[in-house]
Structure formats: C-alpha cells, structure tokens
Chain A
Amino acid sequence: MSGGERKRGRLTRRAFLIGAVAVAGGVAVGVQQVRRPHPNPLAGQDAEPGAVTLNPYLLINQDGVSIITPRAEMGQGVHTTLAALVAEELDLPWESVRTLHGPAAAAYYNAAALEAAVPIPSWDHGWLAEGLRDAAGVASKLLGMQITGGSTSTADAYLKMRKAGAAARVMLVQAAARRWRADTAALRTEAGQVLDPAGGRQLPYTALAADAATIEPPADPPLKPRAQWRLLGRGLPRVDMAAKCTGTAQFGIDVQLPGMRCATVVANPYLGGSRGGFDAGPAEAMRGVERVVDLGATHGDALAVVADNTWRAFQAARALEIDWQPAPGISGDSAAMLDAIAGSIDTLAPDATPRDDGDVDQALRIARAEARPAVKAEYRAPFLAHTTLEPPAAVALREPERLTLWCGHQAPTLLRDLAAEQAGLDPAQVDVRVQFLGGGFGRRAEVDFALQAAAVAEAMPGTPVKLTWTREADIRHDLYRPAAVARCTGVLDRNGLPETALLQIASPSVIRSFSGRVGLPAMGPDKLITEGAAMQPYHIPNYRVVGYAPASPVPLGNWRSVGASFNGFFHECFLDELAAAGGIDPLDMRLRLTRDYPFAQAVLEAVRELSGWDEPVAQDDSRRRGRGLAMTHSFGSTVAQVVEVSDGADGIRVERVHCVADVGLALDPGIIEAQMQSGIVYGLSAAIMEAITFRDGRAEQSNFHDYDALRLAQTPEIRVRILQSGDAPTGVGEPGTPPSKPALANAIYAATGKRLREYPFNKHVRFA
C-alpha cells in the first residue's frame, strides 16, 4: 500500500466523529465507494490453502463449513446466535456448525453501533430517524470499524448474516444444477447438502464449494420466512460450551508460543502523575528475569518486567524501585470529585438537553406561586471498575514488517490501526487474532494492555511476549465507569401524578475520555451522559432531562450499559419517590405515564403478572418484606424488574428478581434469559457493594477483598419473561443492568422506609 493510501486511511479514521451524531466528515465519498463491498478478508494472499470462501462469513474445506462470527465472544453467546443466522439460511445441521472469529477486517464493520448513536428514540421509525440511521450506517461502512459493543451485534448481523447464508445457498444450488444439468427450481437443500429429489441425487456443500465460488453472488437472495425457521427463535446448545467446561477454550491469557516470554507492567499509581528515577537493578538480578522495559510516556510511564514465567515477572515487578510522583494541582479525592460533579450543575452550561417537553420553568414557577410543594432529591453514583475475571492480557510478536497480537478484544480494527501507528507499520502488516474474552463489559474495547504488549515485543524482536496484568493493576488502572450526580425536581398534579419532572444529570464524559485516548476527535454533546434517563417511554407534561459534562482527572471507559448504568437508577428511583409523594402505586403510576407507548405498557403488565404485584407481600415471619419496581428502555430494549427483599436480624436479603424484557425479536431465548440474569447480577453487585474511591490521587481498592461482587449464596432467584414487540432483534447484553439498581433501592424503601439515594447501598444498610 502506498504512503498516500496509508495517509488517507488514517484520515478516514480520524474523521470519525462520535458524539450526538455519527458522521464521516471531511471525506468526499462517491456513490460507488458506498456501494462497493469491502474485500473478503478470507480470500487473497492470506487465504487458507484448499479452502473456498463464498463471502466473508463462510469458509468451506474438506472437513466442512466454518462460519465466521466476527464479534467478541465475551459470554453473551454471540458466536452461537450469529452462526445460527447463517446456518438457518444455509440449511446446515446445528451439530456440524463450526465457528471462527476470523481476522480483524473492515468487512466486519458494525453499522448498528453507529446507528444507535443517532439522538432519536429507538422506537421512532419515521423518515427522519431512519434517514439518519441510514447515514450512520453508511459512515460505519466507510470507516470499517469492527466493534462489539452497545448491545448491537445481533441487530447488526440479523439481515446481513442471513443474506450471507442465503446467497451462499443460491450459489451452491446453482453449482449443483450445472453439474447435474438440472433446473435449480427442482433442487432443495437439507443438512449441508444439495438434493435432487427427482433424480435421487445429492452432493454435500464441501463438494460443490469450488464450483459455487465461480458463480456471481446474488445481490438480494430470498430469505426464509420466519415460520420456516428451524434454528432461530429457539434455545440452541452454545457452540463454545464444551470447550469452556473442559478447560480447552483459549482465552487471550492462555496463548502459548514457542520461546515465549512472560511480562507484567507497573504503572503510575497517581492519576496524571509522573515518574522520577527508577532502579531496575534488584529486579533484573532476580532469577528468570530477562529485562525491564521502560514503556515511556505514551504508556503512562509504565515499566514492563520480562521474565521466563509470569510469577517471576510479578515478583520482580514488586522489587522495582520507582520514584512515582503525584500530579500537582489534581484533587485526588473522590468525595471532592463527586462534590465537584454535583457543583457543575450550577456552574456549567448544559452539554445537552435531549428531552424538553412542555415548559418546565413555567410549571415550576406556577407551582411555587400556588405553594404546591416540589419533590426534590439528589442521587449519586460512584466510580466503578469492570473487574473482568480474566485480567487484561495479550501476546505480541514483532517480526520484520509484521506484528501479530493475540488477545480478547472488542474493537480489533481499532487496535490494529493503533498498533500499526505505534510500530510504524501499515495496518495490513498487523494481524490481530481475537481469542475468547474472559469477560468484556466494555473493558476490552480499550487498547491499553494490548499496545503495552506490542511495545514490549517491539523491544524484543522475534520473541513472543505475553503480558499479564495483576488484579491489583487491573483495579488501580481501569478506565472507570464515571461517578455521576442527578438533581431531580418534581411536582405532582391534583391527582397525585407527575406534572413536572426535571432531571439534571452531571457526569464526566466517557466519549471524550475514550476518544482522547485512541486519538479520535469527539464533537457535539455526549448522549451517554443522559442515556437511560432521556428518551424513556413516559409522558409527563413538563419533562426535561439535562446533561452536564464536568472535567475529570479519572480516565473513563464504557461499563456495561454505560450512562444507563447510573441513569436508570436516578430516573426510576425518582419516579418511585414521586409515586410515594402522590400516594399512587408505582406500577399503576407507570401504566398511566406510558399510555403513548404500548410496548412499555405490555412490559409493565407482564411484570405485574410475573411478580404477583397485586397480591399482598407475604409477612409470615419476623422479616420485613418489600418489593420495588423499575423500568428502563436502553439499547432498543425495554426491561422492567421487580426486586423482592426481606430485612431481618442478619440484614437485608435480596430474595427474588422478576424480569420482563422486550427484545424486539428473540433469536435465542435461552441466551437472552442468561443475559438478563447476568446483567442483573452485574447491576446488583455494583448496587450492593462496589465503589472505586480515590485518596491522594490513588485508587484505594486493589483486589476482590475490597472490590467484590455477588457470590452464589447472595444471588437471588431470577425469573425472566421475554416479550417480542418487533420484527428485528434489539439489545440483550446490557439492558438487564440499568433497572436492577433502582428496583433494589425501591424494594429496600418498601421494606424499611429508608430511601437510598447513593450506592453502593452497603454504605448505608447491612446485607445478609
């Protein structure tokens, strides 16, 4: 590739704006460029010998058919569901399906991730909304960003991977028709073969693939009607299950190469701090230690220790003597940071006002004049870490004109481009091989750990290096879920229903922090600050949601459900307070506020039935009991939850969670149920016990003894019901998380009368 092309490729990426609206700016683009498909990364010089590819999702060799499932498998079952989309159209028997993540490639761009950035409610399918989504889809194709995030993988793949399977089927049938000199209309497909019922003949796809590859793919192959689905719509055995239950699934941390060295890093513990001198002598003298590599300013002044095994690297890292220095002028105290975030509501101009119905100012003036009391509450949410159980880890190998990276990653094309820049290579010379992820939750959309591995490998050409973070490094050097504060003001009408609701939400911008790190410009307001509080399916006559974006010294990242992870808590706890002030049942109140949104009404009615909401709470022992309700629309899905708690001598127990999720169209109910449970456990863990606090510029937590999560004994029974109000799938991996925290807070209020406006709740109440 010429230098000019390299530069243009970089410009295109640089022109990727992430803010309120995703646009490819500054690049003149012809219609042809939009229409032209990305090259098939399975073909060309890197093609597997003896294998045939019919499109970027299919590789056929003597052993059978492999489906490329180019999204990060981090537990959400995406390899299974994406494979089912292709296998359904291709009439492959499920038992024969094999999946490969495949290479990092523009062909695997995620259009839905950018379409979701359009600042219009997901339920709006009008011409403007759809037009903007189309524009965002075009932008994402041009940018070729392969991303697993925003709960978008199945929405993005739903049409294109079924079309890939259907197109391949047409080509295979034509190949058989040519071979047999038969009419394609007389042939059918079943169990990985083309059949000629009249002629009594059959040929497996493996025997037809080479011929099929010479046939022009149909542009718009017919798709199976839903009534004929065999695989989609039912719970399938996961393709990764046996490997994960036998220790044979390979995660990034498990990659082993001949001659491989093992490394770890020690980074500056101070936010924005600097480094004086260091003495590597004692560490380098230790057994098995090969060297200490100074990764320099671009890697946070981190030092890497390279040894012949990971434990010796860990030991030597502790022996490093480093003069770390705190940043001057940064208040490194999280309590003060939260106060500053709250204060920004008074001092900063709004970043965005994504909802502003009626006239909130006038309504509040009138209420004051009429001496009607306002309901006021301030809520706070802490910084959080992701703590994926697999700590950040990556393997890198630098060879002449080539860099290879092995790790679990949610954004492999971004990692490829940044690793190429760092190594002075062309992106085509960087090979990112995505492994299973031992948890993602947004943490593995970050490039820090993998670029560190690449930097160590740069210093040791020809030697593969595995870099593993300690858990302490992970918790002290995360890209944290930001702290957030909401100031809420509400006024009730004569019937006790909310007439006015004002939510002022302040939180440092994740988008700006992330894009600053990876060298992308971020422009426009940050929609994530209000996500999960704005664009909720409620009608309140005067209803305003305002976002503020104060600066923060803390590096920030995407944490499962992102802004909705605190906004669900703010919005739904405040609605509960309004219901209590108006003397109205919280579920009845929500039913009255959602009259314009039938899908939300259906979710509420279903959770009413599932949870037995209309039956009195059992009071049969010495424990005080209560139920709490919350509903959040996020990632295109609507999820309502009822949490049941009891309070006794040993503290509060979370007894049960009832969850109703409208996911548009349910492709795999088993996986969806598991994802709802997972999202709930992740949310309840944070609500009950998680917080990252800073003192003197350093994170105070370091391992699971002071940053824990729910274990089996504390985890409630979780019952899930799935609703399908649409004709396409919406988000599943994240929408279970936002309502879990407010439903728990509201249940604790119902049981104890105590309003919890800040989490983690174990600061305020005791849990059993």
Chain B
Amino acid sequence: MTPNPIDLMVNGVQHQLSVESEMPLLWVLRDVLGLTGTKFGCGVGQCGACTVRIGGAPVRSCTLPVGAVSGPVTTIEGLGTPEAPHPVQQAWIDAQVAQCGYCQSGQIIAAVCLLEQSPSPSPAEIEAVMTNLCRCGTYAQVRTAIARAAAALPASGGQA
C-alpha cells in the first residue's frame, strides 16, 4: 500500500514525503531530511532532546506522527548558523552553556518558544517550561543564557 504523500514545511522549505503518516516527525527530520540537529534521546517524549517548534509551541517530535503535524516546523538548523546565530543561540554561546551538547538543540528550541510567549520569564516560568533533561547538568548556565537572551531580544517579543 502506498501512502498518500505528506506535505511538510521545515525551516521554510516545503517537502513532499512518501512515508507512513504514523512515522514520528523526529525520524522524518533525521533519517529522511537529513536534519540531524534534532536529537533522539528516549522515543517516549520524556527527555526533550527532540524538541522542535510548531506554531510557536515546543513539541517533542519523537512522539508526534508526521501526519499530525499541524503547521510549519522550525528545527535548530532553522534558527541560525555558527556564523549567524539566533539571539538565543548567541546567548547560549556567550554563557558557554553546552558540555556534551547533545540536549542543547532541544533546550534552545524550548527557550526560544518560552521567550516568544514571555519575553521576561520569571524563575517559576523557566522552571515550569524548561523540563528538558541534561545529563551533564548545565541547568545553571541554561538559566543564565535565558536571562541574557531576554535582555538581548527586542522587548516586543515574537521575533525569531
């Protein structure tokens, strides 16, 4: 049985995919589109390494069937590059957040979504939203980077 093609917009690029609609978005990104910045950590939505942005919200792509994706997807590659990082990425670099770095794509996407919703998040808001697992324990630097990014981003928010 050949499934119907699935339309998917990722980082501003439109794709037509002939994959099972129940295939998780994570594996479409990594193994079909070759966007390996989004990571596999648990496969059950527990760790957040696979977080991408869909319609302004952080979504754990390892448990989201690609057929259920409701809008354009932004991955870490869609934010910025080493030469031209997004302000949140720049804040991450300035705060020297990453250790092994494996969780940081998901952490950064989660922080971008948080700052769009709440340009000056309180510690309680940060604690409620930043639930991604980091085995290296970079949480103090994550807090610092979010504060720096909040100061650097335009107060109107919404930019990203």
Contact = CB atoms under 8 A, between A and B. Distances in A.
Nearest to B31: A309
B41 A389 contact: yes
B99 A712 contact: no
Interface stretch (A72-80, A334-342, A642-650): A72-80
Contact of A74 (B34, B46, B100): B100
Given A75-B101, A262-B31, A439-B100, A246 B135 contact: no
B76 A246 contact: yes
B75 A247 contact: yes
Given A75-B99, A240-B101, A681-B139, A310 B133 contact: no
Interface stretch (A90-98, A249-257, A505-513, A627-635): A249-257
A253 B99 CA distance: 17
Interface string A234-265: 01011011111111111101101000001000
Interface in A437-480: 437-441, 468, 470-471
A391 interface: yes
Interface in B1-58: 20, 23-24, 27, 30-32, 34-44, 46-47, 49
Given A245-B89, A251-B102, A287 B97 contact: no
Contacts of A240: 98, 101
Given A241-B92, A309-B31, A682-B137, 17 more contacts: A75-B101, A238-B96, A245-B97, A245-B98, A246-B37, A253-B36, A262-B31, A388-B102, A389-B102, A390-B41, A436-B100, A438-B102, A468-B40, A674-B96, A678-B136, A705-B46, A711-B131
Given A242-B93, A311-B31, A712-B142, A247 B137 contact: no
Interface in A298-326: 309-311, 314
A387 B92 CA distance: 24
A17 interface: no
Interface stretch (A41-49, A418-426, A602-610, A713-721): A713-721
Contacts of B98: 75, 238, 240-241, 244-245
Nearest to A237: B96
A705 B75 CA distance: 25
Nearest to A436: B101
Nearest to B137: A681
Contact of A715 (B30, B80, B140): B140
Contacts of A436: 100-101
Interface string A718-748: 1000000000000000000000000000000
B85 interface: yes
Contacts of B135: 387-389, 439, 441, 682, 709
B31 to A, nearest CB: 4
> What's the dominant secondary structure at chain B's contact region?
loop
Contact of A256 (B24, B36, B77, B133): B36
Contacts of A674: 96, 99, 138, 141
Interface centre among B24, B89, B136 (most CB of A within 10 A): B136
26 contacts: A75-B101, A241-B98, A245-B89, A245-B98, A245-B108, A246-B80, A247-B77, A314-B43, A389-B133, A389-B134, A390-B100, A436-B101, A438-B100, A670-B96, A680-B137, A681-B139, A682-B137, A709-B133, A711-B132, A712-B126, A712-B130, A712-B134, A712-B143, A713-B128, A715-B137, A715-B140
Given A389-B102, A705-B44, A712 B97 contact: no
Contact of B139 (A246, A250, A388, A712): A712
Nearest to A711: B131
A191 interface: no
Given A674-B138, A677-B140, A712-B131, A389 B103 contact: yes
Interface in B113-160: 126-128, 130-143
Nearest to A683: B137
B101 A249 contact: yes
Contacts of A229: none
B38 A247 contact: yes
A367 B9 CA distance: 78
B31 A389 contact: no
B85 A310 contact: no
